[in-house]
Amino acid sequence: MGKVTGFKEHRRVAAPYRDPLERLADFQEIYTDHDIARLTNQAARCMDCGVPFCQSPDINPISARSGCPIHNLIPEWNDLVYGGQWKDALDRLHKTNNFPEFTGRVCPAPCEGSCVLGITDPAVTIKNIEMAIIDHGFSEGWVEPVVPKSRTGKQVAVVGSGPTGLAAAAQLNSAGHQVTVYEREDRIGGLLMYGIPNMKLDKKKVVERRVDLLRREGIQFVVNADIGDGENATLPVTDILSSVDALLLTTGATVPRDLQIPGRDLNGVHFAMEFLTKNTKSLLDSDLQNGNFINAKGKDVIVIGGGDTGTDCLGTSLRHLCNTLTNFELFPTPPPERAKDNPWPIWPLTFQIDYGHEESAARFKKDPRIYSISTTEFLGDEDGNLKSLETVDVSFENGKFQTITGTEKTFDADLVFLSMGFLGPEHYVSEPLGLELDKRSNYKAEKGEYQTSVSKVFAAGDCRSGQSLVVRAINEGREAAREIDRFLTGTTELP
């Protein structure tokens, strides 16, 4: 695909972000305008692979991150971009992906980790090309609402409006079912709206644009709808179940992993998602003028835990003009190249520099990360405010962490953000239904089937599988829609 000799003629040139110091002055997206000439050359690098591992399914859906979970037809749309056939490329992209404008921005691109060219050379810039295709499609007016020609009369409720819920709703609506999506926040999007900062995924220009399209296609959205039996619940889930033909739970994995050490209850220690959610809500409500957010301005900030969420905390703190910024990582520094036990096509566990690390280095002249370090205690003043924390270095041997005697340190800290992953879903939705849970407290439902232990109730996404990627969430939403359609009609034409 692409140009037969393109991979030999062109080196990898990824789309640059805006200048770090420039973008730190705002919460606008970090991306630069698409360069068609560069993208054409990058698409030309796509090889005529015997087996395109980039679009192949995960080897291990939880840990390996190999290939594209939604089976994007990557070589096909690379070839079309190389030939200047952008509208055809958009059609091929939409065959497998309901929301390429989301994945093109926030997906870590496991497809690139499995690119065959990546065995010997840097991979094709698949993610850049995907984002350019959909953005070009919107700019040309090619992305329009597609309203079903007929309705089946079947009613489906979806609880949760993150990527899984939206993908399922889109697919079920296309099959002619009437879909209502319930969201407990004040805006539709779930993780896409409040879990990912605006500089990575613009809420008004990107997220709300797609939600508006879904609404025009016939999907109904209900916000401020806290479903279940919790103290803030607005509607019992049993009432919803009794009024529909099928119920899909896509509530996400929203219980964060805590750090229960002395001083945890001090003022200034927060979960990462609390910080990110409040910041984005205040940004959208008032451009941060209402003060209803955790302000890192002038503060010594420490982020405990890495990953995308930790990086987002770095970027947000920098935009607040924090005084200092440090990121603790429990594991050792990743190697610069693949280790022997991390072969292609599995996701490369190598040292990476994300946008937040780049911005911190531009502001403070150093990478913010400290590896192989564990926090042992939070220290505060007489008023209960966080002032510092204590740490110890650790080693990782034979699958276990060991503290290293004599490496104790104290760090000044006014704010600490805990970004250590998520344990599973909240259960005030599942408990009234009596859903069976798996051993990790997720809603028990088999991958590919999505039927829970309760008739008419399905579950998909992070609440079923555990914390994962946006692209896997979309995959599960699409597959769950297929099985619900089969359940409702006895057959299905959904992919």
In the chain the domains, ranked by start, together with CATH numbers, are: 6-139 (1.10.1060.10), 155-254+423-489 (3.50.50.60), 258-420 (3.50.50.60)
Neighbours of 29 (CB within 10 A): 18
Q: Is the dihedral of CA 45, 48, 54, 60 positive or negative?
A: negative
State residue 242 phi and psi, 5-degree precision: -70, -15
Output DSSP code: residue 385. B
From residue 375, alpha-carbon distances to 138, 264, 268, 369, 484 in Å are 46, 11, 15, 14, 46
How many other C-beta atoms lie within 10 A of the C-beta of residue 32?
A: 12
Task: Pull the structure tokens for residue 106.
Answer: 């926030």
Residues 81, 40 contacting (CB under 8 angstroms):
yes
495 residues of the chain, pLDDT tens digit each:
668 899 999 999 999 999 999 999 999 999 999 999 999 999 999 998 889 999 986 655 444 567 999 999 999 999 999 999 999 999 999 999 999 999 999 999 999 999 999 999 999 999 999 999 999 999 999 999 999 999 999 999 999 999 999 999 999 999 999 999 999 999 999 999 999 999 999 999 999 999 999 999 999 999 999 998 877 788 999 999 999 999 999 999 999 999 999 999 999 999 999 999 999 999 999 999 999 999 999 999 999 999 999 999 999 999 999 999 999 999 999 999 999 999 999 889 999 999 999 999 999 999 999 999 999 999 999 999 999 999 999 999 888 999 999 999 999 999 999 999 999 999 999 999 999 999 999 999 999 999 999 999 999 999 999 999 999 999 999 999 999 999 999 999 999
User: Using omega within 30 degrees of 0 as the cis cutoff, is the peptide bond preceding 345 cis?
Assistant: yes
Cα separation, 262 vs 389, whole angstroms: 10
Residue with tokens 């359940």, as numbered in its chain: 487
User: Token match 């939409």: residue?
Assistant: 94
Euclidean distance between CA atoms 259 and 254, whole angstroms: 16
DSSP secondary structure string for all residues of 139-161 = HTT-------SS----EEEEE--
Measure Cα distances from 359 to 298, 372, 407 in Å.
Answer: 17, 22, 29
Q: State the distance between the two ends of the chain, measured CA to CA, in whole angstroms.
A: 24
Asked if 452 and 458 count as a contact pair (C-beta separation under 8 A), the reply is yes
Q: Which helix (H) or strand (E) holds 127?
A: helix 126-139
**CA–CA separation, 180 vs 215, rounded Å?**
10
Q: Name the pTM for this structure.
A: 0.95
Q: Which 3 state secondary structure label does DSSP give 1?
A: coil
